[in-house]
Amino acid sequence: MFRRFLLIVILVPLAVILIALAVANRQMVAFTLDPFNPGNPALTLTLPLFIFLFLMLVIGMVIGAAVTWLRQGRYRKQARQRGVEAENLRQAIKRAPAAPSQAAIPPGPPA
């Protein structure tokens, strides 16, 4: 239900906005990496503006995801350690001699 809500309320309007942005920005733009010689064809890329906008969006998302992943590293490490500790505990329980359980003792008469 939440995924459908997310799709309808957020992603569909976002897609419409991105498509409108792409259609409105079709003119060619030169992107140069040499600010002192902007006419250098080896360091200049000419593409429609919307391609540069989408590239910046993707690069921003990748950088944001990488920063989030790096910042949450300590929590993943703690989760791995807890998983190892839980597995060690399970192994210790399997190796321990079986103690009589409550289920094996027949119930007494009701009081």
Q: What is the mean pLDDT of residues 38-59?
A: 89
What is the rounded distance in angstroms from the CA atom of residue 96 to the CA atom of residue 40?
75
When mean pLDDT is compared over 36-45, 62-71, 99-108, the highest value belongs to: 62-71
**Domain extent listing, the chain:** 19-94
Q: Which amino acid, 19?
A: I
CA distances from 33 to 17, 24, 37, 43, 106 (A): 29, 25, 9, 5, 83
Residue range 52-93, pLDDT digits in tens? 988 998 999 999 999 999 999 999 999 888 988 888 888 888
Q: Which amino acid, 75?
A: Y
CB contact at 8 A, 12 and 3:
no
pTM for the predicted model, two decimal places: 0.60
